[in-house]
Amino acid sequence: MHSESMFNMQAFYSRFLQPHLDQITAPATVVDIGAKNVNGSYREVFDQEKFHYIGVDLEPGKGVDIVTDNPYHYPVPDNCADIVLSGQMLEHCEFFWLAFQEMVRIAKPGAYIVVIVPSTGFIHRFPVDCYRFLPDAMPALARFGNCRLIDSWLDEDSEWGDLTGVFLKPPLAPKNTEPQHNTHPLQHRGRHYLEFLQGDLRARQSDAHLEIGTRDGSSIAALDCPVIAIDPNLVVNGNVIGNKPQCLFFQMTSDDFFNRYRPDALFGKPIDSAFLDGMHLFEFLLRDFINTEKHCDKEAVIYMHDCLPVTTEMTNRDERSVPNTGPFAHWWTGDVWKVLPILKEYRPDLEITCYDCPPTGLVKVSSLDPHNTALQHHYENIVACYRDMTLCQSELEAYLADCAIQPSIDPKPIA
């Protein structure tokens, strides 16, 4: 264990767990593979009542709760862990892919698996030192373990060049049910929206990306292009800048940002991609779309989150009204779904594509026209017309069917 490794585990905690701690009602089981405390332990990152920490290692010692004599089998039941961790262990494992497969086995469906490995550093046998890992190792592990890589970063400033991978074990499909994309109450079952978004941006070779609603920075961490990130309450922890040549953070509302700055001037060129994930009220998202499109290249794309809700309850304008229990507890999209019919009505020139990205869909808008003022001109009338509109069950199903939701698996690169 070394300080940089602890820093990167803390970065995972801050990005993926801390924003959702209020949703953990029973202690989440954390299993640490290779847990013996040698110069430190990840246990201190999860040292609170919301987590039940179990340390597994090949020999007894401080921080070890379970000792195994087989590095490729852990005496832990299937599907028991909410989070599986392993740091600075796989380089000492001769057949590391088998160890990773075992981590996937003990993770619950939908659980996180976090791996931290060195990409450089001197030989340090414990008892062997077999490997160093480069960034392509993480997607390869995901394919081998039949899980989803949702984030990865290389800490080039650390002594060991720590490479971190955050994986998600796929949730179980409903029994006796064919996967469906356009019906309620089934969840979207494609690629996680951040994984799809980041892959699509890499395929586009985006080099001027604007984001509204950055919060902890997890959505931009894996990007290598210049980024402008806007959020009135930033809680960024760890290195989310990575290899970006330019990363500008603005802790203010998007309205304030557009009143004070021109993103095309900050980039030195028009925006060629944007991700809008700010306030969950349609009038805010519509305003963000209007203001963003003005500064876009004609070939740019704008992505919007939360526009494909899977229950009527999550579409309420008041977040306090969403259920606290059930499969969609605390899920809140607000009424941003209204932006799609608005765009179809007032901007039929736009090309709109909807994807089945969990948890609440991803929408891509292309064929932009920075000089079109129809939305801005009719903004007040649009808000007055749509503000009190709601969806019942049958209307939600009809809305999703009309969206012609596309599968998000293996998107083709964009020319």
CATH code for 3-168? 3.40.50.150
DSSP structure class, residue 336 = G
Task: Give the E-state strand segments of 120-245 in sequence order.
Answer: 148-154, 162-168, 209-212, 227-230
Can you give the pLDDT at residue 174? 42
Q: What's the CA gap between 222 and 214, in Å, rounded?
A: 13
Can you give the pLDDT at residue 258? 97
Can you give the pLDDT at residue 22? 81
Q: What's the CA gap between 407 and 335, in Å, rounded?
A: 23
CATH 3.40.50.150 in the chain, residues?
Answer: 3-168, 193-402
DSSP structure class, residue 341 = H
The domain covering 193-402 belongs, at the CATH homologous superfamily level, to Vaccinia Virus protein VP39 (3.40.50.150)
Assign 237 to helix, strand or coil: coil
Kindly give the parts of the chain with pLDDT less than 50: 173-185, 411-415
Can you give the pLDDT at residue 172? 58
Can you give the pLDDT at residue 113? 95
Q: Which helix (H) or strand (E) holds 53?
A: strand 51-57
Q: What's the CA gap between 297 and 216, in Å, rounded?
A: 27
Burial-class residue 155 by CB neighbours within 10 Å (0-12, 13-18, 19+): buried
Assign 81 to helix, strand or coil: strand
Q: What's the CA gap between 107 and 259, in Å, rounded?
A: 47
Say what the pTM is: 0.58
Can you give the pLDDT at residue 212? 97
